[in-house]
Structure 1
């Protein structure tokens, strides 16, 4: 009897390992200019000590600071705290930041009108959980469309909340966590925006929240990773779209590359917590079942 029990345990462990191998995709290594810029020192450089006195100005705080009072959905409070403490940005005066600012100045000098049009479009995408609570809100439908931006951008406009309510529920939970995580970090670390440190930067817009970490990049990647659990064969496409979104923030002159790389790393850690959460697992199973049943009628070929 004992031998049979041990065999069953080993068999179950093997099945679990296979399941985990299928769902726990490794994070792509840091690459391109993100890797190159990390090679420079992130430590304080006394020659530029004045830069370390600059914080994000309180006069520019937005009402989004209230997300510090919102409870996470799939994450626990303890996980939010652990994630918040897992990321940090290089010192304002560091060689790394100086190189990042120079990189952004070069992007600014080279950006085209076509690039500006595209990055402004991407900059207007955003899902806000509180609007989802008010169906009469004038932005309610647009908000739901933005929730499904990555899915509809890659697979067509029929990939939406109305046709995929189980997928919508999954994404809404993820995005609530994303907003909690974003503003918990921003309003703990208060990193100034690049244009606060470099007067030659002419951003395409200005944002009323601290710079670190990038919210747009966080939602882009946490959704890319989540969508990849639902539609695994499209993972490369979702990652590529998330990459475009994060780079758009640098072209706009509003985020350092280190903001964006931190958000990519952070979003991956969030999904690893999700995959251990029974509520997320249930919602994911239902979303996958819905997708498999409905998507053949929706997705453009």
Structure 2
């Protein structure tokens, strides 16, 4: 009875403490510098404002517009999708972003290329998780736990942490919906559609804004920071590496990535109002406190 009471108090404490563990760091580095340039259209490059992401290159991701959110409400999805905008294609800001990316391209090293291409292949896709017979089922769950495995080892996985897995699956369903709702609402062309001298390491069959990789990197980092506060700095640092990798690859503007960081944090703020999320989070925290010492003590 005493143990049950302690568990209840712990769970309630987890709910009450939610949203106090993380804050959004101020915009910094080149993201801050690039935003000092005008985001307004520049008549000298007016042709650039006629360019949208080519409809002939749309991929199957557009079906996420039909998917229901998990923790977010539909009104919150709408509000989030309307909370961000990208600078005009012809703007001085975009011109400077493209020049920045050209400089990154000129400085790419073989080691960088290997790492960013590895990160590019990471991705959890909710529909795959519905089919245990799917050839990518096991890899999909590994990718769900990529950030924690990268930082704390292979034992931090869906099998050992089912409550954490449930939480992350819900967050990632919302994340994919947010990603493609924003992308297909705004139809921003990729950087290589505007700058012919950019030679991306790959091309992507969805619009540029906002970055999906950066969105999942930060929404997971923020969520994990609620579960494992002691690793918060490490999770944020990994998310930063992931967002910068998209610029090195030549497939995302810095403004795509900063917008995704902002949206990820706003998602967590909405979650603080959701009782189902708070319950799932509390159960994930309890599981982490109980089970993680078995594995993390080996490190």
- TM-score, normalisation: structure 1: 0.93
In the TM superposition, 1:59-208 aligns within 5 A as 59-208=56-205
Asked whether the 8 Å contact 1:24–1:272 carries over to 2, the reply is: no
Structure 2 counterpart of 1:242, from 228, 239, 242: 239
Partner of 2:39: 42
Give me the whole-angstrom Cα distance separating, in 2, the residues matched to 1:153 and 1:23: 25
**Whole-angstrom distance in 2 between the partners of 1:21 and 1:139:** 34
How many angstroms does 1:23 deviate by? 2.8
**Aligned residue-pair number:** 286
Structure number with higher relative contact order (C-alpha < 8 Å, ≥ 6 residues apart) = 2
Q: Does 1:297 align with 2:294?
A: yes
Which of 255, 263, 271 does residue 252 from structure 2 map onto? 255
Tell me the distance in 1 between the aligned counterparts of 2:18 and 2:276.
20
Tell me the CA shift for residue 20 of structure 1. Answer: 4.5
Distance (Å, rounded) in 1 between the aligned partners of 2:237 and 2:254: 16
Q: Deviations over 1:106-160 (max 9, x none)?
A: 0000010000000000000000000000000000000000000001100110000
**2:7 alignment partner in structure 1:** none
**CA–CA distance in structure 2, aligned partners of residues 278 and 155 of structure 1:** 29
Distance in 1, Cα, partners of 2:162 & 2:16:
25
Please give the alpha-carbon distance, in whole angstroms, between the structure 1 residues aligned to 2:19 and 2:75. 27
- Call closer, same or farther: CA 1:133–1:22 in 2, change over 3 Å: closer
Task: Tell me the SS of whatever aligns to 2:45.
Answer: helix
Tell me, in whole angstroms, the C-alpha distance in 1 between the residues paired with 2:133 and 2:30: 44
TM-score, normalised to structure 2's length?
0.94
Residues 220-249 of structure 1, C-alpha deviations (whole Å, 9 max, x = no match): 000000000000111100000000000000
Give the aligned partner of residue 11 of structure 1: none
Contact 1:89 1:212 in 2 (8 A): yes
For 2:135, what is the secondary structure of its paired residue?
A: coil
| Rounded Cα–Cα distance in structure 2 between residues aligned with 1:285 and 1:44 | 47
Aligned counterpart, 1:29: 26
1:50: Cα distance to partner? 0.2
Over residues 233-287 of structure 1, what are the superposed CA-to-partner deviations in whole Å (9 max), with x where a residue is unaligned? 1110000000000000000000000000000000000011112110000000000
Give the ranges of 4+ consecutive aligned residues of structure 1 lying more than 4 Å apart after TM superposition. 18-22
Quote the Cα distance in structure 1 between the aligned partners of 2:156 and 2:18: 27
Is 1:284 equivalent to 2:281 in the alignment?
yes
Shift of 1:25: 2.1
In structure 1, the partner of 2:8 is none
Q: Give the Å deviation of 1:24.
A: 4.7
Query: Can you give the 5+ residue segments of structure 1 that lack an aligned partner in the other structure?
Result: 1-14
